[in-house]
Amino acid sequence: MADDLARVQRWLGAGGTLRPLARSTRTVTLALCSCDTGAEMERMTSSDPALLATLDELLAEARPGLRRAGSP
């Protein structure tokens, strides 16, 4: 669990993308997708507080046009 944020950061750093599949206040399930076709390569479920706290920011970095709900 403690390494989940680092795992996602490495994935994004290598050019991969993320697709959120499910999210609650305590857990998130992400599809880790390839950079070229967007095909799901791995799936992970995490309850890492650090990952949950930075998820919106990570998703925005992974998809620059993405805006959080309520953002202008």
Phi, psi of 21 (to 5 degrees): -105, -35
- Angle, CA 45 vertex, CA 38 and CA 36 arms, to 5°: 10
Q: Residue 22's beta-bridge partner residues?
A: 29
Spell out, as residue ranges, where the chain has pLDDT lower than 70: 1-2, 62-72
- Please tell me the pTM assigned to this model: 0.79
The pLDDT mean for the chain works out to 84
Provide the token pair at 9: 């950061």
